[in-house]
Chain A
Amino acid sequence: MDRHISRDKVQNIIRYVVILNGCTVPYESPFQRQAEDAYALLQNSRLTEADGAAVVFYDDDAEKDKLVALSPLPAVKLVKVRGYQPEMILKILEKLHADDPRVLYFFPGDAAGSELSVRLAWRTGGCSLTGVRRLQAADSGISAVRYVYASQMEGTFTVPYPVPDAPLVFSAARGEGEGLPVYSAFDRVLDEQDFSNFPRSCKNPEAGMFTPVSTPKTLEKARFVVAAGQGAGSKSAVSAIEKSAEIMGAALGVSRRAAMQAWAPMERLIGASGASLRADLCLAVGVSGAAAFLSGIEKCGFIAAVNTDPKAPIVSCADVTVIDDYQPVLEALLEIMMKRVSSHD
Chain B
Amino acid sequence: MKILVCFKVVPDLDAMRQEDWVAEDLAVDVSFLPREWNSFDESALETALRLADASGGHQLSAVSIGGSLLNPFFKTLAALKFDEVFRIELDGDLRFSPGRIAALLAAFIRREQFDVVLCGRQSGVGDNAQTPLILTEMLGLPCITQAAEVHPAPENSLRVISRVEGGLLEQRIRPPCILTIGDTQSTYLRIPTLKDRMQYGKRPVTVIDARELEQDSDADSDAGYHAGLSSPRAQPRLVKLEPVDNRRAGVVIDTGTPQEKARLLYERYLQERLS
B172 in the interface (beta carbon within 8 A)? yes
Across the interface, do A205 and B142 meet the contact criterion of CB distance under 8 Å?
yes
Q: How far is the CA of A277 from the CA of B186 in the complex (A)?
A: 24
Q: Which of B17, B125, B252 contacts A310 (CB 8 A)?
A: B252
Once bound together, how far apart are the Cα atoms of A212 and B169, in whole Å? Answer: 8
**B248 located at the interface, meaning its Cβ lies under 8 Å from any Cβ of chain A in the complex:** yes
Closest to A324 in B: B258
Q: From residue A326, how far is it (CB to closest CB) to chain B in Å?
A: 9
> Which of B56-64, B78-86, B110-118, B236-244 lines the interface with chain A?
B236-244
Q: A128 to B130, Cβ gap below 8 A?
A: yes
Interface 1/0 per residue, B25-39 and A, CB below 8 Å:
000100000000001
**List of B residues within 8 angstroms of A27 by Cβ:** 164-167, 169
Chain B contact residues: helix, strand, loop or mixed: mixed
Q: How far apart sit A90 and B271, CA to CA, in the bound complex (Å)?
A: 52
Decide if B249 touches A333 in the complex (CB within 8 Å): no
Q: Which of A296-313 contact B (CB under 8 A)?
A: 298, 301-304, 310-311, 313
Docked complex: B1-49 residues within 8 A CB-CB of A? 13-14, 16-18, 21, 23, 28, 39
Q: In the complex, are the beta carbons of B265 and A320 less than 8 A apart?
A: yes
Q: Find chain A residues with CB under 8 A from B263 CB.
A: 332, 336
Identity of the chain B residue whose Cβ is nearest the Cβ of A21 in the assembled complex: B165
B14 near A290 (CB under 8 angstroms)?
yes
Known: A150-B124, A304-B270. A322 touches B261 (CB 8 A): yes
A148 and B165 in contact, given A156-B240, A260-B39, A281-B270 (Cβ under 8 angstroms): no
Alpha-carbon distance between A163 and B170 when the two chains are bound, in angstroms: 40
**A155 to B252, alpha carbons, bound, how many Å?**
32
A147-B127, A205-B160, A333-B262 known; A320+B242 contact, CB < 8 A: no
Contact of A211 with B16 in the complex, beta carbons under 8 Å = no
Q: Are B163 and A266 in contact (CB under 8 A)?
A: yes
- In the complex, the answer to whether A204 meets B129 with C-beta atoms within 8 Å is no
**Is B229 part of the binding interface, using a Cβ–Cβ cutoff of 8 Å?**
no
B251 A320 Cβ-Cβ under 8 A: yes
A325 surroundings in chain B (CB, below 8 A): 258
Q: Which residues of B contact A156 (CB under 8 A)?
A: 238-241
Which one, A62-70, A111-119, A178-186, is touching chain B? A111-119
In whole angstroms, what is the CA distance A27 to B170 when docked? Answer: 11
Q: Is B253 an interface residue (CB 8 A)?
A: yes
Residues of A within 8 A of B76 (CB): none
In the complex the two chains form, is A266's CB within 8 Å of B184's CB?
yes
B242 touches A153 (CB 8 A): yes
**Given known A-B contacts A149-B125, A150-B127, A328-B258, A211 and B167 have beta carbons under 8 A apart:** yes
Contact for A208 among B171, B182, B225, B261, CB less than 8 A: B171
Contacts of A262 in B (CB 8 A): 185-186
* B124, B145, B170: the one within 8 Å of A111 (CB): B145
Question: How far does the alpha carbon of A96 sit from the alpha carbon of B134 in the complex, in Å?
Answer: 21
Chain B, 138-180, contact with A by CB distance < 8 Å: what is the 0/1 string? 1001111110100000000001100111111111110001000
A224 adjacent to B274 (CB under 8 Å): yes
User: What is the bound-complex CA distance between A150 and B243, given in angstroms?
Assistant: 11
For residues 111 through 134 of chain A, which have their beta carbon under 8 Å from a beta carbon of chain B? 111-112, 114-115, 118-119, 122-123, 125-131
Taking the closest CB of chain B, its distance from the CB of A67, in whole angstroms, is: 16
Q: Is B195 an interface residue (CB 8 A)?
A: no
* Number of A residues, CB within 8 Å of B: 104
| B67 close to A (CB within 8 Å) | no
Q: Does B221 count as interface, using CB distance less than 8 angstroms? A: no
Judge whether A44 is part of the interface by a CB distance below 8 angstroms.
no
Q: Do B266 and A336 have beta carbons less than 8 Å apart?
A: yes
CB interface residues, A 8-60, toward B, < 8 Å: 26-30
Q: Hey, which chain B residues are within 8 Å of A317, CB to CB?
A: 18, 246-248, 250
A159's contact among B21, B129, B236, by CB below 8 Å, is which? Answer: B236
Judging by beta carbons under 8 Å apart, are A313 and B170 in contact? no
Q: Pick the contact of B186 from A131, A152, A260, A330 — CB < 8 Å? A: A260
Q: Which of A155, A209, A210, A320 contacts B240 (CB 8 A)?
A: A155
| Bound CA–CA A122/B231 (angstroms) | 12
In the complex, the answer to whether B262 meets A322 with C-beta atoms within 8 Å is yes
A74-110 vs B: 1/0 string, CB under 8 Å? 0000000000001100000000000000000000001
* Contact A118 B130, CB 8 Å, known A111-B146, A260-B186: yes
Given A111-B182, A213-B166, A328-B258, decide whether A166 and B236 contact each other with a Cβ distance below 8 A.
no
What are 28 A-B pairs at a CB distance below 8 A? A26-B169, A114-B129, A122-B137, A127-B233, A130-B128, A148-B241, A153-B242, A153-B243, A153-B244, A154-B241, A166-B233, A203-B141, A210-B168, A216-B166, A259-B185, A266-B148, A266-B183, A281-B270, A298-B246, A303-B248, A317-B248, A317-B250, A319-B250, A320-B268, A323-B252, A325-B258, A330-B262, A332-B263
Which residues of chain B have a CB within 8 Å of any CB of chain A?
13-14, 16-18, 21, 23, 28, 39, 95-96, 121, 124-130, 133-134, 136-138, 141-146, 148, 159-160, 163-173, 177, 182-188, 225, 232-244, 246-254, 258-259, 261-263, 265-266, 268-270, 273-274
Which 10 pairs of residues, A with B, have the shortest CB-CB distance? A332-B262, A328-B258, A156-B240, A157-B236, A212-B167, A203-B142, A205-B173, A208-B170, A323-B254, A118-B133
